[in-house]
């Protein structure tokens, strides 16, 4: 396991090909347990993980595959080779043995009125937990890929997993082992000249 948090963050990649090996349940549980230490607005910890393997995973893949019909619109900005690769990925979810769906429950705060958009804040909190999940998975030698394209078929995903209507689908990630190491995609603005405004330092 990589130990340095900077290495873990920089070494994580969106993996779009997976081996058939299924990560042990205890390891998946450990990663989700770690992910829930994310900060959350109002400390609501308003997130729910739906972990599918086996037949449910197969059902989910066929639902997510339907998004590939919209690939033309989704991937218009990419060149043809990348479009083909991303479309194939949508059709197969890379062959990953586990698919995790993350939701939050649309609910007003329990005790107090607040002039906030709780949906937005709960969404942001769930995203923090999602990033934790991705990083912990990587630290444990597992591969992931944050996906929002499947949100386009959220109704069918909800039906497949028995997710109540009160829950919003935030993202989906495959979970498994990658057959190869992907080189990093360079980050923009490496010198932090455009993306940071410094004051007094
Ligand atoms: C909010 C969000 C949504 C994303 N949705 C998808 C998606 O639907 N399909 C996909 O293949 N990748 C998706 N990605 C992964 C990005 O394409 C990827 O993070 C980016 O290209 C940088 O690559 P890296 O994660 O390997 O550093 C998403 C990432 C984020 C943060």
CA gap 185, 177 in Å, rounded:
20
Residue 1 pLDDT > 60, yes or no?
no
Any domain includes 87: yes
At residue 74, the pLDDT reads: 83
Which of 68, 85, 134, 147 for mutating ligand 1's site (highest number of atoms within 8 Å of CB)?
147
168 part of a folded domain: yes
The band of 72, judged by pLDDT with boundaries at 50, 70 and 90, is confident
Residue 71 has pLDDT above 70, yes or no: yes
For atom 29 of ligand 1, the residue with the nearest CA is: 146
Nearest atom of ligand 1 to the alpha carbon of 86:
11
Instruction: Flag whether 165 is in a domain.
Output: yes
Atom 1 of ligand 1, nearest CA residue:
148
Q: What is the pLDDT of residues 36-52, one digit of tens each?
A: 999 999 999 999 999 99
| 3-state helix, strand and coil shares in percent for the chain, rounded to the nearest 5 | 45, 15, 40
In a domain, 172, yes or no: yes
Distance of CA 140 to the CA centre of its chain: 16
Is 200 among the domain residues?
A: no
Write the residue with the smallest CA distance to atom 20 of ligand 1.
14
111 — pLDDT class (breaks 50, 70, 90): low
Does 105 fall in a domain? yes
Q: Quick check: 147 pLDDT over 90?
A: yes
As for how many domains the chain has, the answer is 1
Residues 76-92, mean pLDDT to the nearest whole number: 92
Strands (DSSP E) contained in 18-146 are: 48-52, 98-105, 143-144
The pLDDT assigned to 2 comes to: 47
More confident residue, 74 or 163: 163
Residue 98, domain CATH: 3.40.109.10
Inside any domain, residue 171? yes
In a domain, 187, yes or no: no
CB atoms within 10 A of CB 115: 4
Q: Which of 148, 171, 185, 188 to mutate to test the pocket of ligand 1 (most atoms within 8 A of CB)?
A: 148
Which residues have C-beta atoms less than 6 Å from ligand 1? 13-14, 86, 89, 145-149, 185
Ligand 1 atom closest to the CA of 127, numbered from 1: 1
Gap from CA of 145 to ligand 1 centroid (Å):
6
Domain enclosing residue 19, as ranges: 5-176
Judged against a pLDDT cut of 70, whether residue 110 lies above it is answered with no
């Amino acid at each position: 396991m990589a130990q340095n948090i900077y290495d873990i963050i920089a070494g994580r990649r969106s993996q779009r090909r997976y081996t058939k090996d299924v990560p042990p349940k205890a390891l998946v549980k450990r990663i989700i347990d770690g992910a829930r230490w994310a900060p959350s607005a109002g400390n609501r910890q308003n997130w729910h993980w739906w972990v599918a393997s086996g037949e449910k995973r197969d059902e989910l893949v066929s639902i997510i595959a339907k998004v590939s019909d919209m690939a033309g619109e989704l991937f218009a900005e990419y060149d043809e080779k990348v479009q083909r690769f991303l479309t194939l990925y949508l059709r197969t979810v890379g062959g990953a043995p586990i698919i995790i769906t993350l939701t939050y429950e649309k609910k007003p705060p329990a005790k107090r009125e607040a002039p906030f958009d709780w949906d937005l804040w709960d969404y942001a909190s769930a995203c923090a937990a999602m990033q934790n999940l991705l990083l912990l998975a990587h630290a444990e030698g597992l591969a992931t890929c944050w996906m929002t394209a499947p949100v386009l078929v959220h109704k069918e995903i909800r039906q497949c997993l028995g997710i109540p209507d009160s829950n919003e689908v935030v993202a989906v990630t495959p979970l498994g082992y990658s057959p190869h190491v992907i080189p990093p995609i360079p980050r923009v603005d490496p010198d932090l000249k455009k993306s940071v405004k410094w004051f007094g330092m």
